[in-house]
Amino acid sequence: MSANAAARDRLVGLVCAVLTLLTWSGFILLTRLGVRSTMTPPDLIALRFAIAGTVMLPWLLRHGLGGLSWPRAAVLALLAGPGFAVPAFYGFINAPASHGAGLMPGTLPIWTVLLAALVAGERLTRLKSAGVMLTIGGIMMITGPHVVDAKAGVLLTDLLFPAASLNWALYTVLARRWSVAPLQSAAIVFVLSGVVCVPIYLAVWGPRLLAAPLDDLIVQGVYQGLVATIVSLLFYMRAVRALGAGPTTLITAAVPGMVTLAGIPLLGEVPSPSAIAGILLVTAGVVVTVVSTNPQRGSQAAAAGRRPRRAAARTDT
Q: Is the pLDDT of residue 306 over 60?
A: no
- Band of pLDDT at residue 277, cut at 50, 70 and 90: confident
Higher-confidence residue of 153 and 233: namely 233
pLDDT digits (tens, 9 = 90+) for 34-90: 998 889 999 999 999 999 999 999 999 999 998 899 999 999 999 999 999 999 999
Buried b (16+ CB within 10 A) or exposed e, 255-294: bbbbbbebbeeebebebeebbbebbbbbbbbbbbbbebbb
Query: What is the share, in percent, of the chain residues with pLDDT greater than 90?
Result: 34
pLDDT digits (tens, 9 = 90+) for 220-253: 999 999 999 999 989 888 887 887 766 777 777 7
Average confidence (pLDDT) over 141-146: 68
pLDDT digits (tens, 9 = 90+) for 155-166: 677 889 989 989
Q: Is the pLDDT of residue 98 over 80?
A: yes
Q: How far apart are CA 102 and CA 254, in angstroms?
A: 10
Distances (CA, A) of 121 to 36, 116, 173, 176, 281: 42, 6, 12, 14, 27
Residue 180: which residues within 8 A CB-CB, separation 6 or more? 66, 68, 76, 188
With contact defined as beta carbons under 8 Å apart, do 183 and 233 qualify? yes
